[in-house]
Amino acid sequence: MSLTLGRAARKQLTESIAGATSLHGDFFRSVAFRYFHPDDVVSGEGTRLHGGRFVPPGVRAVYATLEEWTDRAHPPPLLNSVSPETAPHEVASRKSASGSRSQINFGDYPRMTYVVSVATRRNLDLTVALPTELANVVRMCLRGSGYSVSQELAAIWISAGVDSVIFPSATGGCRTIAVYLENAGAGSVVVRNRAEVLAALRRPRVGKRGQ
């Protein structure tokens, strides 16, 4: 399936891009355990190689869950398993997007959750009430398997200089943000307490011999 934008939808998209506003907040980033080094978390290398929803291949981007952590005095643990409630939805979504694959790559699990600080200048929010024609296009991008239609759509606003986009999660229950690193620039996505995490990784394991 390829993207088809009618005149009305294209006009509405152009107006939405023109109205993009800044975004600042702390959000959650879940990664496979094998990629849990803080620098891998925000490298964007995975999307550069494979792309993703609203991220064409070749574009370095970082995904995060848009649930701002309001209790800054007591943030959640930086190294933490993804919640049991979220895991089944995530597995189902990955299976759907994979198309012909019937098995899940269990190298993607267990997963670790980080808190990342996001700061972008031009954020496009697709979770607000959108004009009818554009809303229909966004719904099409969230349905079914594969990411090609959403990637074609995203290429339009990426070329227009949009730094990030917020969109409804295909699994429901939360919103997702994708930050386009080349557009957003250095420091747009930062792992909180990176130094403390690295220190914990270097700390020798404590245990009895033979365990």
pLDDT digits (tens, 9 = 90+) for 62-103: 999 875 444 445 544 433 323 333 434 444 554 555 454 545
In-domain check, residue 100: yes
Angstrom distances, CA of residue 96 to CA of 45, 53, 89, 92, 162? 22, 12, 11, 6, 28
The 10s digit of each residue's pLDDT in 110-144 is: 677 888 999 999 999 999 999 999 999 999 999 87
- At residue 151 the predicted structure's pLDDT band, cuts being 50, 70 and 90, is very high
Integer-rounded Cα Rg, in Å, for the chain is 18
The whole-model pTM stands at: 0.77
pLDDT for the residue numbered 93: 54
- In the predicted model, what is the mean pLDDT of the chain? 80
The answer to whether residue 164 is domain-embedded is yes
Domain span including residue 30: 7-202
Q: Is residue 44 part of a domain?
A: yes
- The total number of structural domains that make up the chain: 1
Instruction: Read off the pLDDT of each residue in 41-56 and give the average, rounded to a whole number.
Output: 94
Which one-letter amino acid corresponds to residue 28? F
Is 30 inside a domain boundary? yes
Question: What mean pLDDT is predicted for residues 177-202?
Answer: 87
What does the H/E/C string look like for 14-54?
HHHHHCCEEEEEEEEEEEEHHHCCHHHHCCCHHHHHHCECC
